[in-house]
Amino acid sequence: MVLEKLNIYQVDSFTDQPFKGNPAGVCVLKKGLSDSLMQSIATEMNLSETAFCIPTDNESFEEAGRYGLRWFTPSVEVPLCGHATLATAKVLYDEYRNNSEKLRFSTRSGELIVKKAGAKLAMDFPCDPTDNAGIPDDAVKALGIKNAINTASSRNLNMKLIEVDGPETVKNLKPNFGDLRNVGETFANGGFLVTSRWGEEGFDIISRFFAPVYGIDEDPVTGAAHTILGPYWAKKLGKNEIRSYQASARGGEVMVVVKGNRVDLIGDAVIMLKGEIYY
Same domain for 74 and 30, yes or no, is yes
If asked whether residues 45 and 86 sit together in one domain, one would say yes
Secondary structure string (H, E, C) spanning 31-45:
CCCCHHHHHHHHHHH
Task: Identify whether residues 108 and 135 lie together within a single domain.
Answer: no
- Residue 135 pLDDT > 90: no
Are 190 and 229 within one domain?
yes
Same domain, 81 and 20: yes
pLDDT for the residue 187: 66
| pLDDT value, residue 77 | 95
The 10s digit of each residue's pLDDT in 137-177 is: 888 999 999 889 999 999 999 999 999 999 999 999 999 99
pLDDT higher than threshold 80 for residue 80 = yes
Measured CA angle at 222 (ends 219, 225), to 5 deg: 120
Sequence-ordered strand ranges (E) for 95-240: 102-107, 110-117, 120-126, 130-132, 148-154, 160-164, 192-197, 205-211, 216-219
For residue 241, how many other CB atoms are within 10 A of its CB? Answer: 14
- Residues 195-232 have pLDDT tens digits of 999 988 899 999 999 998 888 899 999 999 999 999 99
121 and 134 assigned to the same domain: no
Do 120 and 186 fall within a single domain? Answer: no
Shared-domain flag, residues 121 and 185? no
What percent of the chain has a predicted confidence (pLDDT) above 70? Answer: 98
CA distance 68 to 14: 22
Does residue 2 carry a pLDDT above 70? no
Per-residue pLDDT of 102-121, as tens digits, reads: 999 999 999 999 999 999 99
pLDDT for the residue numbered 52: 98
Question: Is 276 one of the annotated active-site residues of the chain?
Answer: no
How far apart are alpha carbons 207 and 143 in whole angstroms? 13
* Alpha-carbon gap, residue 89 to 93, rounded angstroms: 6
Sorted by sequence, the CB contacts under 8 Å of residue 70 that are 6+ apart come out as 38, 51, 52, 77, 107, 108
Q: What is the pLDDT of residues 86-101, one digit of tens each?
A: 999 999 999 999 999 9
Mean pLDDT (whole number) for 62-78:
95
pLDDT value of position 111:
96
Give the pLDDT of residue 239. Answer: 97
Q: Which residues pair with 1 in a beta bridge?
A: none
Are residues 188 and 109 located together in one domain of the fold?
no
- Looking at the structure, tell me whether residues 59 and 163 fall in a common domain: no
Residue 34 pLDDT exceeds 80? yes
Amino acid at 214: Y
pLDDT, tens digit, 9 for 90 and up, residues 237-279? 999 999 999 999 999 999 999 999 999 999 999 999 999 999 9
- 64-67 long-range contacts (CB < 8 A, ≥24 apart) are 64/98, 64/100, 65/100, 65/101, 65/102, 65/103, 65/104, 66/104, 66/105, 66/106, 67/92, 67/103, 67/104, 67/105, 67/106
Residue from 4, 44, 49, 253 carrying the catalytic annotation: 49
- pLDDT reported for residue 136: 83
Same domain, 152 and 120: no
Residues 174 and 86 in one domain: no
Max mean pLDDT among 30-44, 128-142, 187-201 falls in 30-44
CATH number at residue 99: 3.10.310.10
Number of domains in the chain: 2
Give the range of the structural domain holding residue 35, as residue numbers without chain letter.
5-126+266-278
Mean pLDDT for the chain?
94
